[in-house]
A and B are shown apart, each in its own frame.
Chain A
Amino acid sequence: DAGVIQSPRHEVTEMGQEVTLRCKPISGHNSLFWYRQTMMRGLELLIYFNNNVPIDDSGMPEDRFSAKMPNASFSTLKIQPSEPRDSAVYFCASKPTGNTIYFGEGSWLTVV
Chain B
Amino acid sequence: DQQVKQNSPSLSVQEGRISILNCDYTNSMFDYFLWYKKYPAEGPTFLISISSIKDKNEDGRFTVFLNKSAKHLSLHIVPSQPGDSAVYFCAASVYGGSNYKLTFGKGTLLTVNP
Q: Which of A42, A56, A103 contacts B43 (CB 8 A)?
A: A103
What's the interface size class on A, roughly?
Answer: 20 to 34
Q: Which of the residues B32, B49, B95, B104 comes within 8 Å of A42, measured between beta carbons?
A: B104
* CB interface residues, A 39-71, toward B, < 8 Å: 41-43, 45, 48, 50, 55-56
**0 or 1 for each of B35-75: is its CB under 8 Å from A? (1 = yes):** 01000011111100100000000000000000000000000
Contacting pair B43 A104 (CB below 8 A) = yes
CA gap between A72 and B60 in the complex, in Å: 35
Q: Assess the B101–A56 pair: CB atoms within 8 A.
A: yes
Query: Chain B, interface size: which category?
Result: 20 to 34
**Is the CB–CB distance between A105 and B43 below 8 Å?**
yes
Counting CB contacts under 8 A, is B89 at the interface? yes
Contacts of A26 in B (CB 8 A): none
Question: What distance in Å separates the Cβ of B44 from its nearest Cβ neighbour in chain A?
Answer: 5
Given contacts A31-B100, A42-B107, A45-B102, whether A99 and B42 have CB atoms under 8 Å apart is no
Q: Is A24 an interface residue (CB 8 A)?
A: no
Contacts of A56 in B (CB 8 A): 99, 101
User: A95 — nearest CB in chain B belongs to which residue?
Assistant: B100
Q: Contact at A100–B100, with CB atoms within 8 Å?
A: no
Of B34, B42, B99, B106, which is within 8 A of A55 by CB?
B99
- Contacts A43-B44, A106-B43 given; indicate if A99 touches B106 (C-beta within 8 A): no
Interface residues of B (CB under 8 A from A): 32, 34, 36, 41-46, 49, 89, 93, 95, 98-107
Interface residues of chain A, those whose CB is within 8 Å of chain B, are 4, 31, 33, 35, 41-43, 45, 48, 50, 55-56, 91, 93, 95, 99-106
**Can you identify 28 A-B contacts, CB atoms within 8 angstroms?**
A31-B100, A41-B106, A42-B104, A42-B105, A42-B106, A43-B107, A45-B103, A48-B100, A55-B98, A55-B99, A56-B101, A91-B43, A95-B100, A99-B34, A99-B49, A99-B93, A99-B95, A99-B102, A100-B34, A100-B46, A100-B49, A101-B46, A103-B36, A103-B45, A105-B42, A106-B41, A106-B42, A106-B43
